[in-house]
A = this chain, B = another copy of it.
Amino acid sequence: MVSDKYEKISALARRRGFFWPSYEIYGGVSGFINWGPLGAVMKRKIEDKFRDMFLRRLGLYEIETPIIGPEVIYVASGHLKSFREAMVECNRCKKRFRADHLLQEFANLPSHETEKMTLKEIAEALKRHRVKCPECGGNLSAPQYFLTMFKTTIGPYSDAVGYGRPEAAQTIFVEFKRLYEQVREKLPTGFAVIGHALRNEISPRQGPMRLREFTIIDLEFFVDPEDPCCSLLEQVEDETLNLVLAEERLKGSEKPVKLTVKEALSKGYIKSEWQAFFMALAKRFLMDLGVPEDKQRFIEKLEWERAHYSSQGFDQEVYLDRWGWVEVSGFNDRTDFDLRGHMRESGVDMRVFKPHENVRVRKERVIEPVISVIGRTFKRDANKVLDLLSKVNPNEVEKQFKKQGYYMAGEFKILPSHVKFVEREVKETGRRFIPHVIEPSFGSDRLAYVALEYAYTVKDGRVILKLPRDIAPVQLAVLPLVQKDGLPEKARALYKRLIDEGFSVEYDEAGSIGKRYARFDEIGVPLCITIDYQTLKDETVTIRDRDSWRQVRASIKSLPEALWEYFRFKRNFEDLGTSL
């Protein structure tokens, strides 16, 4: 049996220390993985690349927030109501499965159909397609909804329910007011969290692609809905995107259209300029991680596929050998859904104030109570009535007067003789509003797996991991040609110098030089530096390129500076020395 790329990469990843399932000595717990000595560094370099492209360069911010949050947050956000999956249990072996996954796998229903099914429709479809337990062939229970958040209590033996965050976004929204003050009330602005998130999946499989604990990169970008233009659009307007539009999908097709950002906006396919900007940036990000543009697409979510908070959503998908198109990031227009929810549940005003450039004067119709009449009519309740009248909508009062001749303010019957309608001039210094949110959101574990799959290459029967040089976990290997004649000492001195200069370097003297090259090619070390007899004569070394296996000769003296330039993409391999 030929194993697929996922199997090959998983085997390599486990053997060399990229990733593998957690807790294997206890039989494993599905949905949890480790990133090992090589994988953790590579994954962090990918996250650092996000920090550089999406935060530092754009003047946006990273914050760090807790994973555990009190229940009220997930009431406000709607997760407690919506973050659930239909589950079935095998009556015989008692294993549990996600009903939609069974329908996709055994009844060939596409995910955009299963996602809109009700519990009843799921039950019928399972019956119609005679789906049985995939483990033991037993009959399945009726499907039921289950909340897929990890639940705990905050404080030992307390009854304060807490949840592990299923997304980091809410931990940004609840802090928005303070964050907005800290960045001196500027808009648009954005805050990202890169951290662990928890989803208590029913039966996770697929290694790093579907995890119960994973690293999420949520960037919440806050804009004024009345000023939605993207000031950075020109940086990306000619970037092309492969779009699979909702209108096409409704026709049952997944045919992409290739449009520039400018075109996609002017045709109205992407509604928000900032959304389009971040999608274009994400395309470049994935290209920098090694995914060519024809292996990327943006698929528009259908109404019933979108998260409960989203008004328009695209998933960025990458083509993978085993699973086909797989989501690596999502772009959602969350409108003011979340801030509004927290404003409702907390009672805290989440609106921002934006001053007008010039003070605006406008006329306003207000109610003026006729105090003498009100006093006479309502006596000791007069103050209560005045208070109620100060809060009513004048138009509503007038409407009721016309309709029925009176207006009920609470329990009090207000007659036209009790009030006057007057026009008043109001000076408006600015506007209060709830910002809208555009959200790019990445799964860091998936990005890391994708980078590995696109780097995985076989040449002459040997594996080369052609990782982009800025995410390769080990930058350099220093190798004495042989284990004698002073070469190891010379090599160790160079190793030490490169360490002092800040590089991540490995030293290796065990085995033939060819074997060592192969060992470092397999883990994606971009450059191997070899110390040979020539080095003892003239202080030069050979530098070998991982991908082309070509070599150049360079002097030790200028090595650190040249290598820094190489790793910052300011110098090519060929310019590191003289070709051999």
A494 at the interface (CB under 8 A from B): no
Interface SS of chain A: mixed
Contact B68 A198 (CB under 8 A): yes
Q: Which residues of B contact A428 (CB under 8 A)?
A: none
Q: A152-B151, A178-B14, A179-B17 are in contact. Are A26 and B63 (CB under 8 A)?
A: no
Contact B157 A29 (CB under 8 A): no
Residues 23-66 of chain A: 1 if any B CB is under 8 Å from the residue's CB, otherwise 0? 11110010111111111110110000000100011000111111
Give Cα A567 to B25, complex, Å.
45
Binds B, one of A2-10, A142-150, A351-359, A460-468: A142-150
Contact A17 B213 (CB under 8 A): no
Contact B213 A179 (CB under 8 A): no
Among B151, B196, B568, point to the contact of A195 (Cβ < 8 A): B196
Binds B, one of A69-77, A236-244, A294-302, A406-414: A69-77
Binds B, one of A169-177, A262-270, A391-399, A533-541: A169-177
Give Cα A161 to B216, complex, Å.
24
Among A25, A158, A162, A195, residue most surrounded by chain B Cβ atoms (within 10 Å): A25
A82 at the interface (CB under 8 A from B): no
A320 at the interface (CB under 8 A from B): no
Give Cα A158 to B39, complex, Å.
31
A154 at the interface (CB under 8 A from B): yes
A117 at the interface (CB under 8 A from B): no
Determine how close the nearest CB of chain B comes to the CB of A531; give it in whole angstroms.
18
Contact B40 A62 (CB under 8 A): yes
Task: List 21 A–B pairs whose Cβ atoms lie within 8 Å, in order of A's numbering.
Answer: A15-B181, A16-B182, A17-B61, A17-B183, A22-B175, A26-B345, A31-B154, A32-B69, A34-B64, A35-B65, A37-B179, A37-B183, A37-B191, A44-B62, A66-B213, A67-B67, A68-B164, A87-B156, A150-B152, A151-B152, A196-B196
Closest 9 A/B residue pairs (Cβ)? A17-B182, A37-B61, A35-B64, A146-B156, A25-B346, A40-B64, A32-B66, A25-B348, A66-B213
